[in-house]
């Protein structure tokens, strides 16, 4: 039965002849002129949209490049603090791992209570949510400010 439905289904793709001689034009060619005008308007709008997108990408790229340069300058001006940020980020990463282990253990142990009781779910979110959000924010800042290892393998010494 599935073979019959496949045979009666029209193909998904077909060939379309778009050459000018494929379809006779209306007397006077007014329909062709209107279609050509509309297609040119669509093309002009797409060109403008592409220009705007290129401008937007340029602005975003320039902002990102400026931010990276400023961050690089800060790291060069404060190499000791950048190394300390790296160590703190690594330590907080371990703390985050332990925190996630306790969070997942809590979920596993109280899954049914969290599912059935709104009060229990709210308590869980209140207990773990703010800490997780703040910890993630701290890790992000410390990671951005931390010194990155040199590709040559040399240390960032002052």
| pLDDT reported for residue 152 | 44
Tokens of 100: 């996630």
Query: In whole numbers, what is the pLDDT of the chain averaged over residues?
Result: 82
Burial class (CB in 10 A: 0-12, 13-18, 19+), 96: middle
Burial annotation 11-47 (CB, 10 A radius, 16+ → b, else e): eeeeeeeeeeeeeeeeeeeeeeeeeeeeeeeeeeeee
CA–CA gap between residue 80 and residue 98 (Å, rounded):
28
Tokens of 157: 């010494």
Q: Do 99 and 132 touch, CB atoms closer than 8 A? A: yes
Q: How far is CA 107 from the centre of its chain?
A: 28
Convert the pLDDT of each residue in 111-142 to its tens digit. Answer: 888 888 888 889 989 999 999 999 999 999 99
Residue 94 has pLDDT above 60, yes or no: yes
Please tell me whether the overall predicted TM-score, pTM, comes out greater than 0.85 for this model: no
| pLDDT reported for residue 48 | 95
Convert the pLDDT of each residue in 48-64 to its tens digit. Answer: 999 999 999 998 999 88
């Amino acid at each position: 039965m599935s073979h019959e439905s496949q045979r009666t289904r029209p193909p998904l793709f077909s060939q379309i002849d778009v050459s000018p001689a494929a379809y006779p034009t209306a007397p006077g060619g007014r329909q062709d002129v209107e279609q050509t005008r509309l297609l040119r308007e669509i093309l002009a709008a797409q060109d403008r949209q592409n220009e705007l997108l290129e401008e937007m990408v340029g602005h975003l790229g320039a902002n990102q490049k400026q931010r990276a340069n400023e961050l690089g300058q800060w790291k060069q001006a404060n190499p000791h603090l950048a190394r300390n940020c790296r160590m703190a980020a690594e330590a907080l990463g371990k703390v985050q791992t332990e925190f996630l282990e306790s969070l997942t253990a809590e979920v596993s142990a109280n899954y049914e209570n969290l599912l059935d009781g709104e009060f229990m779910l709210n308590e869980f979110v209140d207990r773990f949510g703010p800490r997780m959000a703040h910890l993630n924010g701290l890790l992000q800042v410390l990671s951005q400010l931390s010194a990155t290892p040199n590709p040559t393998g040399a240390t960032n010494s002052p």
